[in-house]
Amino acid sequence: MTKAHLPLKVSKCIKLPGAPEVTTVIDGTGKHHAECDLCGIDITLTITANPRSFQRHRGGEACLKLRRSQGLPDTEPTTWPYGLT
C-alpha cells in the first residue's frame, strides 16, 4: 500500500533545469495550477502539487501545437531527471 500524501496548501515553485522557475496557484478545490512557460496554457496539477502532468504537457504534442499556432519557436522542452516522465 502506498503512503498517502497530504494536500499542499501553499504555492510551490517548480524548478526545471535550464528553464524559468514556475510557481503554482491553488484553486478553490485545493488543486495546484501552473502556467506553461513554453505555450502559456494553464496546467492542472494535483493537491500535492506533483509536477508530473506539467512535465508531460511541456514535452507533448498539445504544447508544440499551441506554440506553433501562436507563432512561437519550436524549442526543445527541458527534460526532468529521475524518471518523472
SS (HEC) of the chain:
CCCCCCCCCCCCEECCCCCCCEECEECCCCCEEEECCCCCCEEECCCCCCCHHHHHHHCCHHHHHHHHHCCCCCCCCCCCCCCCC
Residue 14 has pLDDT above 50, yes or no: yes
Domain of residue 31 covers 13-69
For residue 49, tell me if it sits in a domain: yes
pLDDT per residue over 23-81, tens digit each?
999 999 999 999 998 999 999 999 999 988 998 898 889 999 999 998 887 776 655 55
pLDDT on residue 22: 93
Do 66 and 57 contact (CB within 8 A), yes or no? Answer: no
Give the pLDDT of residue 7.
86
Q: For position 83, what pLDDT does the model report?
A: 47
Kindly tell me if the per-residue pLDDT of 85 is higher than 50: no
Residues 64 and 74: beta-carbon distance below 8 Å: yes
pTM of the complete model: 0.76
If one counts the domains in the chain, the total is 1
Look at residue 24 and tell me if it is in a domain. yes
CB 33 within 8 A of CB 40: no
